[in-house]
């Protein structure tokens, strides 16, 4: 994994260093057939001593040892990927880490040749905005004709990917697991969805007083999301999840009011119709840039060429929209009004 791109990434590493969160993740997003093989109540952290690549330990890699129902140990290699781009060589990286893990087990004299090697379940947890598209099997990266006699001698390994943004809103909202709420928190559809997620995580901890002791970390994650919406820094840090819900609700309402007032004031400053249109277009661009950061090249010319009615509609929708398509509507890319 490369350097983290979000202030919340270290919190993720802390979250998934806790066994309760790993169990919650596996129960929520592994297939039932895989779960049936595992004794999750006896999961424990495995301390790794290996490095790869340039000799630096990936802080996103955590290894867990889980007894199977058949009596043998299973090693879960959990890799947290927080990059803006998909790691196309992930299957190769998984193969390297699996080999290093096996070598460590041999060096520690935990394995005998007569016993063979224990199984490994590699899992990649990805929270980036593009959908995961890399090959999930090493054989798919090896360039050989399908009928080559060399295939039996090639390495092969595959991994299971949990792509946070690939799950539907309906599936996540219907899930009883804490990690499903976490995914919603990291990928909100709009401001109202973020408020509802904050309410749901608060309610989850109320219903599960004996759950994983990670409530403070979720508070910090919510504050990180709230900070991303702030025009000014937070005046004070709340102490409870419910305070975050209240602050988030108030801030989004205030934000919407500020933008609407700004648009009206800038419109009144210009007496001519064209002047009002140009000023309103700048307001819309500022809202879009603040909501969606880097904008595609087609957005600015489309906004600058629009009439006042279109600009007013976009401004209102931009305050709560989850995507640019929600603002402009389907099929509008590259066109002008």
The predicted-structure confidence for 308-323, as pLDDT tens digits, reads as follows: 888 888 887 877 777 8
- On whether residue 43 sits in a domain, the answer given is yes
- pLDDT, position 242: 62
**Which residue range is the domain that position 51 belongs to?**
9-139+153-187
Can you tell me whether residue 3 is helix, strand or coil? coil
Q: What is the mean pLDDT of residues 293-304?
A: 86
Answer yes or no: is 160 within a domain. Answer: yes
Q: Please report, rounded to a whole number, the percentage of residues in the chain having pLDDT higher than 90.
A: 34
Give CA separation, 162 vs 73, 166, 174, 237, 265, in Å: 23, 8, 17, 32, 47
Query: pLDDT class for 93, splitting at 50, 70, 90?
Result: very high
> Is 76 contained in some domain?
yes
pLDDT in tens, 186-201: 877 666 777 788 888 8
Listed in sequence order, the residues at least 6 apart from 334 whose beta carbon sits closer than 8 Å to its beta carbon are 298, 302
Query: Is 45 inside any structural domain?
Result: yes
In a domain, 233, yes or no: no
Mean pLDDT across the stretch 167-179? 92
147 in a structural domain: no
Residue 24 structure tokens: 């919650």
CB 75 within 8 A of CB 101: yes
Task: Confirm whether 195 is domain-assigned.
Answer: no
- Count of domains observed in the chain: 1
Closest residue by Cα to residue 195 from 129, 257, 242: 242
In the prediction, which pLDDT does 137 show? 96
Residue 289 lies in a domain: no
Q: What secondary structure letter does DSSP report for 56?
A: B
């Amino acid at each position: 994994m490369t350097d983290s791109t979000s202030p919340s990434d270290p919190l993720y590493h802390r979250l998934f260093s806790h066994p309760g969160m790993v169990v919650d993740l596996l129960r929520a997003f592994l297939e039932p057939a895989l779960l049936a093989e595992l004794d999750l109540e006896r999961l424990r952290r495995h301390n790794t001593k290996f490095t790869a690549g340039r000799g630096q330990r990936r802080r996103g890699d955590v290894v867990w040892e889980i007894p199977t129902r058949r009596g043998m140990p299973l090693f879960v290699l959990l890799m947290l990927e927080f990059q803006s781009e998909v790691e196309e060589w992930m299957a190769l990286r998984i193969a390297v880490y699996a080999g290093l893990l096996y070598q460590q087990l041999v060096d520690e004299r935990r394995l005998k040749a007569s016993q063979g090697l224990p199984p490994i379940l590699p899992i990649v947890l990805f929270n980036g905005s593009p959908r995961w598209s890399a090959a999930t099997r090493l054989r798919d990266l090896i360039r050989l004709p399908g009928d080559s006699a060399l295939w039996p001698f090639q390495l092969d390994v595959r991994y299971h990917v949990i792509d946070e943004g690939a799950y539907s809103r309906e599936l996540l909202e219907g899930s009883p697991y804490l990690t499903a709420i976490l995914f919603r928190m990291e990928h909100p559809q709009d401001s109202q969805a973020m408020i509802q997620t904050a309410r749901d995580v608060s309610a989850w901890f109320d219903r599960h007083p004996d759950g994983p002791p990670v409530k403070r970390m979720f508070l910090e994650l919510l504050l990180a999301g709230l900070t991303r919406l702030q025009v000014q820094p937070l005046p004070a840090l709340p102490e409870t999840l419910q305070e975050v819900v209240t602050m988030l609700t108030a801030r989004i309402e205030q934000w919407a009011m500020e933008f609407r007032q700004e648009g009206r004031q800038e419109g009144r400053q210009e007496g001519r119709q064209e002047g009002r249109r140009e000023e309103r277009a700048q307001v819309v661009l500022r809202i879009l840039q603040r909501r969606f950061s880097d904008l595609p090249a087609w957005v600015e010319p489309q906004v600058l060429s629009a009439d006042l009615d279109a600009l007013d509609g976009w401004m209102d929708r931009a305050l709560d929209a989850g995507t640019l398509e929600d603002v402009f509507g389907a099929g509008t890319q590259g066109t002008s009004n």
